[in-house]
Amino acid sequence: MEIILSNLKIQVNEKIYVKDPETSALGKKIIEQSILLIDAIGFDNFTFKKLGKEIGSNESSIYRYFENKHKLLVYLSSWYWSWMEYKLVFTTTNISDKKEKLNKAITIVTEKITDDISTEHINEAILNKIIIAEFTKTLHTKEVDHENKEGFFLIYKRVINRIVSIVKEVNPEYPFAKSLVSTIVEGSLHQHFLTDHLKTITDCNETVTTTQFYLNLAENVLR
């Protein structure tokens, strides 16, 4: 998987950036270091000025790649879900047993990424931490309908709908396939968050994983 990934160019909607960060050294540095800085200080405290300082670049140069920090977060999220889609497709194709296919899919989207199978400049383990902590902020804005129309969340929705198809193969009668999958994908981020911060309202921890909870849930709901 690693070998293939290192050759993979992850596609992100052009409207999200001003200039494609994959096309220059500075662009890649912006992506690489923004992931580290957002993880370190949190998205709310993150500014382009601070990032500029970190990468020895001027604030104004960063603005040539992204209009604002919200768009940068949308970019990182899109990249993440695109990478997730790749893993999902790679893992589930040619699996004939439908239940096994679904279980693999659920495992892929719910497990915490702890190993760093790094594409050169992107640390997926840390990016996963950012998604757990900050992804919800890409959606919860007054501009969500407009940005949705522009296709900012297309990859995210496609990941969910790919799993919906698998659910329908397992049980074509179940009437809530979309809601089940969107609940699993969003909910697993939330369960990881609770494991890290509000342990009294989750059963998930190092030994009992979020993935086990959702595998069990899907099994019970679709049988």
Partner DNA sequence: CTAAATTGAAAGTAATACTATTATATTTGC
Partner DNA sequence: GCAAATATAATAGTATTACTTTCAATTTAG
Q: Which does 86 bind (CB under 5 to 8 A by kind): a copy of itself, DNA, none?
A: none
Site string for a copy of itself, 154-193 (x = CB under 8 A): ---x--xx--x----------xxxxxxxxx--xx--xx-x
* Separation CA 169–CA 102 (nearest Å): 9
Torsion of CA 207, 89, 36, 138, to 10 degrees: -100
Which range binds DNA by CB under 7 A, 59-67, 93-101, 109-117, 136-144?
59-67
Residue type, 182: S
Number of residues binding to a copy of itself, judged by CB under 8 A: 50
- The answer to whether the beta carbons of residues 108 and 81 sit under 8 Å apart is no
Name which position in 63, 144, 165, 169 contacts a copy of itself (CB under 8 A): 144
Which backbone phi and psi does 77 adopt, to 5 degrees? Answer: -65, -45
Which range binds a copy of itself by CB under 8 A, 17-25, 27-35, 76-84, 209-217?
209-217
Name which position in 6, 11, 24, 141 contacts DNA (CB under 7 A): 24
Query: Residue holding tokens 């497709």?
Result: 89
Number of residues binding to DNA, judged by CB under 7 A: 22
Helices (H) and strands (E) in the chain, counts: 11, 0
Q: CA neighbours within 13 Å on the CB side: how many for 49? A: 1
Chain residues 25-64 in contact with a copy of itself, contact rule CB under 8 A: 41-42, 44-45
Give me the residues paired with residue 122 across strands. Answer: 119
Instruction: Give start and end residues of each alpha helix (H) in 42-153.
Output: 48-55, 59-63, 69-92, 98-110, 124-139, 144-149
Give me the residues paired with residue 119 across strands. Answer: 122
Query: Residue holding tokens 């993150």?
Result: 46
Q: How far is the CB of 14 from DNA (least distance, A)?
A: 14
Which tokens is 73 given?
Answer: 């977060």
Q: Which does 74 bind (CB under 5 to 8 A by kind): a copy of itself, DNA, none?
A: none
Interface residues with DNA (CB under 7 A) are 19, 24-27, 45, 47-50, 56-61, 63-64, 67-70
Interface residues with a copy of itself (CB under 8 A) are 41-42, 44-45, 133-134, 136-137, 139-142, 144-145, 148, 153, 157, 160-161, 164, 175-183, 186-187, 190-191, 193-194, 197-198, 200-204, 208, 210, 213, 216-217, 220-221, 223
